[in-house]
Amino acid sequence: MTLPSHAQIVIIGGGIIGCSTAYHLAKDHKADVILLEMGQLTSGSTWHAAGLVGQLRSSASITRVLKYSVDLYKRLAAETGLETGWKMTGCLRLATNQDRWTEYKRLKTTAGSFGMDMELLSPKEVKAMWPLLNVDDLVGASWLPTDGQASPSDITQSLAKGARMNGARIIENIRVTGFEMDGDRIMKVKTDQGDIACEKVINCAGQWARQVGDMAGINVPLQPVKHQYIITEKIEGLAADAPTLRDPDRRTYFKEEVGGLVMGGYEPNPQSWMTGDVPNDWQFRLFDDDFDHFEQHMLQAIERIPALETAGVKQMINGPESFTPDGNFILGVAPECSNMFVGAGFNAFGIASGGGAGWVLAQWAIDGEAPLDLWAVDIRRFSNLHRNRVWVRDRTLEAYGKHYTIGFPHEEYVSGRPAIVSPLYERLKKYRAVFGSKLGWERPNWFAPEGAPSEDVYSMGRQNWFDAVGEEHRLVREKVGIFDQSSFAKFELSGKDAAKALDYICANDVSRPAGRLTYTQLLNTRGGIECDLTVARLAEDKFYIVTGTGFRTHDFAWIRDHIGQGLDAELTDITENYGTLSLMGPMARKVLAKVTSADVSNSAFPFGHVREIEIAGTIIRALRITYVGELGWELHVPLAATGAVFDALMSAGEEFGIRPVGYRAIESLRLEKGYRAWGSDITPNDSPFEAGLGWAVKLRKNTDFIGRAPSEIINAKPLKKCLAAFTVADSNVVLLGRETILRNGVFAGYLTSGGFGYTIGKPVGYGYVRNDEGVTGDFLREGKYELIIANERFAAELHIEPLYDPQNVKVKA
């Protein structure tokens, strides 16, 4: 084939992700696509993948992506004439202890919330389905009948044929050597056979995706890890349709293959390959067998399936798989390059994800924005910390080792810490802070009382911090607390067109006078919520933007990418310039008045305003705003002075009982007040009107903004879902999110977040009540509600208004 000189979209990498993306671009979008593969199709890690296909994840959107994969694999052979090896065998997941069994009961509830059928089986039922199993140690198992297995190479070849049938061009044995750039855009893909001009590039290069990204200045934080499995000779009594099997307490998995078994696992001591570049010639290649390292899996597997002890081993596969620091794959447009998209780092879920990932990645590349809430896998969830290859390696190995461990709520990673600390880190340690980590920042989750261990003890029920967090919660409700929120992401937008740029980007009206601040969402072209942040106007041509720690890269890129062409408006990330101390509680004004000469009375400093005031000899930005439902200020302090300002506030607040407070208290406080959390309660799938935030959308103002047209349509019709609060009378119930909502005994949605309200003394959750015929206030009020929590039904009360109102000091529960 003569190398074409131009294409609309160039895909790099001919594994399952690249071929799926090419297939969907060509078939669904009629795009002009060229796929470049430096060896042969599947020659990276696709060809040696084990081929298990599971669907259920903790995210509804990611579960939808994986369900799409199964639907595609079912029909693909009929479309292309090439078999995929798809078998819907179902999947058993075994449980040998009560914590795992509780996890499965919660997973069954999640499955129901996401429209999947999961059953919980007894050991006797498991034995009937898998006669070769030793079930003596089982508590039970979960059963997902629609899971299955497939042949990775066959699926990929079938997708490639489907792509060609729809006009895509696939070129093998061609190597990408670099890119011709114009600013942050790729103009040409350079290869060892010539250049290809293009509009967009999609990096699906698998374990080479990091170095392909490097060529364009893009960071793709993945780490190749050695993953081993064996293929046995035929085993007597093994059915051809035996369910795939996961035995997480023994860290192993199994699937039937040609009368024998594929068996592998996820060890707690994984072996990384290298932190440098993967050799270009590593195609259809494996590492030497490492039976010493694999022995731990073999011993566990024989305990589970005794027939393995005498089964012959036909082959051992020891190959590299690309894993990521949080165990989720990587999709989306790179923050450093406006026209390179990435699909990589699939953590051995590439076959299960391949069909759906190609579908959403193709749509993303065409539209320029994700077609649904894909935040869990969005490449913009990372930061500059993830450029540190040693840190990425260490965190990725920890994530790999957790692949089959019990998913305890609120569990924190321990590797690579501390990475980033605020100036208060050592001070807060003296107050017995128990830290968590967010995008590398150490943040106090809670403070241990004297005599109690200052560490998390994980459990499936109430955890050891429950009472201590309750005391912190009450302190903020009744007196005053101080939060170190220095990890907040902070940007400045300046220039004569800054107001014009933000007016188009923001859904709420930010064109207020200097000294005012605005809570606003940024919407996508579907009217969904892409960002949720605060904008403070410092001057006519200068705005200060504050958003959540984890959204730093995402929100910065979203704002930057949507500043109108030719406008004089420059966005700058100043996160490390300022520490943030949030002073919150009924006594907050009295404390603040003692440390500043500024008038902080309500008339001089009303809610929703920003002022520069002096504390401890330092000019700070004080924002009168709250996320906990009490009187308070966010105090943005030049970073070097954060310690001095903290000390001044602690000294002034001593007579009022001030203490530092952690993030777990913030969560319980905001749940009671009804504040939404982006990424759970509000996402790109949800509109402000559905979330009860329609008041923050400037439809009455005659001005255009991103998402205005769909917002008008959504607002004009009956809402099909509406966010509401739920409480449960049983105070011992643990709500986490994804619990099923029943209205009059019928499925009506699921919780998006959950926790405990210490003021009201009850578990609190938020979730969307859904009804295709429309959700009105009367519809909400007239229903009788229950929540399914860990597979049990509990009566629940729905609340439309906030559960806690500090103005009237009343509790609604």
For residues 545 and 523, give the distance between their C-alpha atoms in angstroms, rounded to a whole number. Answer: 16
- Residues 325-355: pLDDT tens digits? 999 999 999 999 999 999 999 988 888 899 9
pLDDT computed for residue 149 by the predictor: 86
For 578-667, the fitting CATH number among 3.30.1130.10, 3.30.43.10, 3.30.1360.120, 3.20.20.220 is: 3.30.1360.120
Strand partners, 682: 678
- Assign 276 a pLDDT band (cuts: 50, 70, 90): confident
Judge whether residue 809 has pLDDT over 70. no
Residues near 443 by beta carbon (within 8 Å), at least 6 away in sequence = 435, 436, 437, 484, 485, 487, 549, 662, 663
pLDDT computed for residue 304 by the predictor: 97
Judge whether residue 57 has pLDDT over 90. no
pLDDT computed for residue 813 by the predictor: 38
Percent of the chain clearing pLDDT 90 (strictly above): 91
Domain range summary for the chain, segments of one domain joined by +: 6-84+150-223+326-381, 91-148+224-319, 489-577, 578-667, 718-811
pLDDT computed for residue 566 by the predictor: 96
Query: What are the phi and psi torsion angles at 704 (to 5°)?
Result: -85, 150
Closest CA to 304 of 142, 138, 121, 134: 134
| Structural class in CATH, domain 6-84+150-223+326-381 | alpha beta
Q: Give the mean pLDDT of 591-595.
A: 98
Surface-to-core class of residue 695, CB atoms within 10 Å of its CB (0-12 exposed, 13-18 middle, 19+ buried): exposed
More confident residue, 807 or 199: 199
For residues 783 and 243, give the distance between their C-alpha atoms in angstroms, rounded to a whole number. Answer: 40
pLDDT computed for residue 709 by the predictor: 98
Q: What share of the chain is helix, strand, coil (3-state, %, to 5)?
A: 30, 30, 40
Judge whether residue 436 has pLDDT over 90. yes
Helix (H) or strand (E) holding 613: strand 610-615
Report whether 331 contacts 378 (CB < 8 A): yes
Chain CA centroid to CA 6, Å: 36
Q: Give the mean pLDDT of 500-522.
A: 97
489-577 classified as CATH 3.40.50.300? no
For residues 708 and 698, give the distance between their C-alpha atoms in angstroms, rounded to a whole number. Answer: 9
| Structural class in CATH, domain 718-811 | mainly beta
What's the whole-model pTM score?
A: 0.96
pLDDT computed for residue 42 by the predictor: 83
Judge whether residue 810 has pLDDT over 70. no
- Residues 645-686: pLDDT tens digits? 999 999 999 999 999 999 999 999 999 999 999 999 999 999
Closest CA to 178 of 204, 217, 207: 217
Helix (H) or strand (E) holding 568: none
- Residues 15-45: pLDDT tens digits? 999 999 999 999 999 999 999 999 998 877 7
Residues near 118 by beta carbon (within 8 Å), at least 6 away in sequence = 56, 107, 108, 111, 112, 142, 143, 144
For residues 38 and 660, give the distance between their C-alpha atoms in angstroms, rounded to a whole number. Answer: 56
Closest CA to 555 of 565, 564, 545: 545
Pairing label, strands 481-484, 659-661: parallel
Q: Give the mean pLDDT of 289-300.
A: 94
Judge whether residue 170 has pLDDT over 60. yes
- Assign 281 a pLDDT band (cuts: 50, 70, 90): confident
For residues 226 and 425, give the distance between their C-alpha atoms in angstroms, rounded to a whole number. Answer: 37
Q: Give the mean pLDDT of 251-259.
A: 93
Six-digit token string for 646 = 């903290």
Q: Give the mean pLDDT of 254-259.
A: 92
Amino acid letter, residue 294: F
Amino acid letter, residue 404: Y
Question: What's the mean per-residue pLDDT of the chain?
Answer: 95
Closest CA to 769 of 755, 751, 782, 757: 751
91-148+224-319 classified as CATH 3.30.9.10? yes
- Assign 812 a pLDDT band (cuts: 50, 70, 90): very low
Closest CA to 675 of 811, 802, 527: 802
- Assign 59 a pLDDT band (cuts: 50, 70, 90): confident
Q: 556: helix, coil or strand?
A: helix
